[in-house]
Amino acid sequence: MSEWLIRHAHMLDLSAGVDYTGDILLENGCIAQIGPFLSRRGCRTLDADGLCLAPGLVDMHVHLRDPGLTHKEDIESGCEAAAAGGVTSVAAMPNTAPAADSPETIRYILEKASHAKARVLPVAAITKGLTGKELTDFEALKRAGAVAFSDDGCPVSTAYFMAEAMRRAASMGVPVLAHCEDKTLTRNGLIHEGAVSQALGVPGVPAAAEDVGTARELSLSLSTGAPVHICHVSTAVSVQMIRAAKKMGAKVTAETCPHYFMMTDEKLLACDADYRMSPPLRPERDRLAILEGLQDGTIDAIATDHAPHTAEEKADFVKAPNGVIGLETSLGAGITCLVGQGVMSLPELLYRMSSVPARILKAPCGTLREGGIADIMLFDPQESWVVEPARFHGKSRNSAFKGLRLQGRVQYTFCRGELVYQRA
Ligand code: DOR
Ligand code: ZN
């Protein structure tokens, strides 16, 4: 284990009340000391003049594609992309092959992740094979190391199973992460149903496909008293329903993703499948509602829904699977769009990308405290850069951020006290 003394960094962490320029000492995988001035001989030093230092980001919505779909991504490559994006923990979604519905698969993920450049927090399937027909063994999956339950990608179609999943997960103190979608409304829709789908003459997905799902999960949470986390919120109506449910006392938390606050369905006019994901990009009024939801705290966290697919799969606009990658661009997108446009302060953004998701997942990270784990990242808040997917560290290139200019760039990432990324 190496020791590191990082000096002159602007340290930022709302959860620990840290906002000053000083030094931090990493020892045995932990934060040994933080202060305005530290001295220590014999350890490696890093001069962080001009850089901000924050808890490593915790991305609570990532598809690592491992086991089974490793031509798109695997645990190693996904964690490499995470490290390059300043992300030190990723919640790995269960729509793998096989699905993460057995203790063996959870153990496989954790074993492979033990050598990776980020921590992997496995999310187990709610139903066997993500088929919506039979609940998995929650107790055994939690014992194997699952931190949450979700059928993301194949949302649980019957309310009964979802209610039962919420009750069971609540009794175990583990969150349910809900991909809200009524597939009977999605049908064969490719993009948001509206002016753009009409102009292109392609089948649309109505906003109601998401909203009906959101309404169901909020109602179930209210009636069972169990917590629920709403994934990738993209519509104005869902934001308003979540806001109302919170006022009614529901134990609900929510996330959105950078593509929903940064772009609209006009991107689809290019007929490029790199802008297709589920839920789809929406019109400007929804984007503005997402910004409001972020601003007033209705939307608690920011995650990426990093969903790698190959260039071959994405080549056909109509046949391509849904999903965009995001691990290497989320911090820059947040700084550019949310901090740059005054939606929230930089410390608040970092908090919503690290401490808040860590709290929802009950993971012992996302904070700068002496004795805490040494998962941290350093970034230059001023550096402006253009997104070039060819330079990404993951296996896939399906980024909706390609060609965009972003502000704020990760320079160093430490996970478990080890340097796992340094910008070349
Ligand atoms: O766009 C998406 N891609 N949405 C999902 O729900 C699943 C994900 C994937 O696995 O590709
Ligand atoms: Zn999803």
Task: Express each pLDDT in 64-88 by its tens digit.
Answer: 999 999 999 999 999 999 999 999 9
Mean pLDDT (whole number) for 314-336: 98
Read off the pLDDT band of 163 (50, 70, 90): very high
pTM (two decimals): 0.98
Q: 306 CB under 6 A from ligand 1?
A: no
Q: 152 CB under 6 A from ligand 1?
A: yes
Residue nearest ligand 1's atom 6 by CA: 153
Distance between CA 178 and CA 43 in Å, rounded? 45
Q: Which of 47, 305, 375, 380 is catalytic?
A: 305
Instruction: Please name the amino acid found at residue 70.
Output: T
Testing ligand 1's pocket by substitution, the residue of 70, 210, 277 carrying the most ligand atoms inside 8 A of its CB is: 277
- Which atom of ligand 1 lies closest to the CA of 153? 6
| Per-residue tokens: 311 | 């260039």
Q: What is the pLDDT of residue 332?
A: 98
Is residue 47 annotated as a catalytic residue, yes or no?
A: no
Q: 278 CB under 6 A from ligand 1?
A: yes
Read off the pLDDT band of 2 (50, 70, 90): confident
Q: What is the DSSP letter of 391?
A: G
- Which atom of ligand 1 lies closest to the CA of 308? 11
Q: Which residue, 228, 194, 195, 192, is CA-closest to 213?
A: 228
- Which atom of ligand 1 lies closest to the CA of 321? 11
Can you give the C-alpha Rg of the chain in angstroms? Answer: 20
Q: What is the pLDDT of residue 314?
A: 98
DSSP element (H, E) containing 87: strand 87-92
What protein residues have CB closer than 5 angstroms to ion ligand 2? 152, 179
Distance between CA 102 and CA 133 in Å, rounded? 15
Mean pLDDT of the chain: 98
Q: Are 49 and 8 in contact (CB under 8 A)?
A: yes
Residue nearest ligand 1's atom 7 by CA: 153
Q: Which residue, 220, 223, 222, is CA-closest to 246?
A: 222
φ and ψ at residue 173, rounded to 5 degrees: 70, 30
